[in-house]
Structure 1
């Protein structure tokens, strides 16, 4: 069962809550999928059952269809953020990385029909999360960069300064609709370079200045 962890591999006391996810938060990513650039954050939710460790193995269920990776910066909520919160970044306890796994063909089919995305985005194991490092408001405001490799080829490089909507703007917008509680996470959107996973792929995620996390794609039994 997934638990939030610090980079020291110590489980933290915070409960595991929902993941509020942001779509199309980088211009180049919206363009690579032929999607319009949004004028407000595009939000959806993964339940806690979708979360798993980005550990030695990343299990995918091929019977559901082709899985695409989307590497993202992940914020861990340490204190409640609601619509009255005026300094949401100061309520973030940690930052990590994650893969928002997406059943791309199913998502395209659902979008074409005007249906919700949940089955393509919020299925079990669709949010693979690294351990977190403690963070403060100043660090978040100064910007964070990260990288994702597939079989030692750099596929994605994200920079929070390139987000369409800043982290503070995202948190403020989210809190207008969904109160964020300690243990909730926010997946802040993916840069360009998304693609399909294959069994046997070697994956790496690194938040700049932190350790590299490695995982191998296996078939879910």
Structure 2
């Protein structure tokens, strides 16, 4: 990650990346996972962040790397025990992100009861778009997410299908962590995750181009 400030929100510096697993029912089912009763949280390091025009590097340790397109939220002010009713007031911007996952490493970790940090945390495993100001999005629970690989549509769904909406995620996270300006929340992926390979071109978009992201695989 060369940039320290969030693209589109230059007053914010990157901090934590909170990620939500299994936040769409059909995605949980496609991986034969149970639908969670509360948000399933993991973290990515900031060293995994890349940007539009950059490359995802497939690590030698994995033979099965997947794309997962996600609405990504940028927190704009500090908060603890934030109420759901005003949780969106803490959002400064929205973007599109890809939670890149070494699925074989993740599966092995799950089978052994181990954390997912390695599977999710390789360098280049968190591509992020430029962010749009939150005042341009009236309702984060009605946004289209789309991802193509070599112009073939792999994922196309709406955030209204989230199990835990953005406001609930902010509330829940803030009961555990004190959220800070520059914290990111990757809110989970809909169905359609699949492997990526070297020389693939991946494009992701939020709400028909409100935010866009294009990366290649090497």
Q: Could you tell me how far apart the structure 2 residues matched to 1:211 and 1:103 are?
A: 25
1:74 aligns with 2:89: no
Relative to 1, partners in 2 of residues 1:186 and 1:13: Cα closer, same or farther, differing over 3 Å?
same
Equivalent pairs counted in the alignment come to: 213
Aligned 8 A contact 2:96 2:211 in 1: no
Report what 2:169 is aligned to. 170
| Residue of structure 1 equivalent to 2:124 | 125
Aligned partners of 1:89 and 1:140 also within 8 Å: no
* Ranges in structure 2 where 5+ consecutive residues have no aligned partner: none
Q: Is the 8 A contact 1:68 1:104 kept in 2?
A: yes
Displacement of 1:57 after TM fit? 3.0
Q: Pick closer, same or farther for the CA change 1:38–1:143 going to 2, 3 Å.
A: same
1:204 is matched with 203
Worse overlay, 12-21 or 131-140? 131-140
Task: Please give the alpha-carbon distance, in whole angstroms, between the structure 2 residues aligned to 1:199 and 1:84.
Answer: 42
CA deviation vs aligned residue, 1:174-200 (integer Å, no higher than 9, x gap): 111112110110000000000111111
Q: What's the counterpart of residue 27 of structure 1?
A: 25
Q: Is the 8 A contact 1:89 1:137 kept in 2?
A: no
2:53, 2:168 → 1: CA distance? 34
Residue 60, structure 1, aligned to residue 62, structure 2: no
Q: Which residue pairs with 2:184 in the alignment?
A: 185
The aligned residue for residue 145 of structure 2 is 146
Partners of 2:102 and 2:120 within 8 A in 1? yes
Deviation at 1:158, TM superposition (A): 2.9
Distance 1:18 1:142 in 2: 23
| Structure 1: gaps of 5 or more residues | none
Does the 8 Å contact 2:129/2:212 carry over to 1?
no
Which residue does the alignment assign to 2:16? 18
2:6 maps to 4
User: Does 95-104 or 61-70 show the bigger shift?
Assistant: 61-70
Rounded to whole Å, the distance in 2 between the matches of 1:206 and 1:140 is: 17
Secondary structure at the aligned position of 2:138 is classed as helix
CA contact (8 A) 2:44 2:121 kept: yes
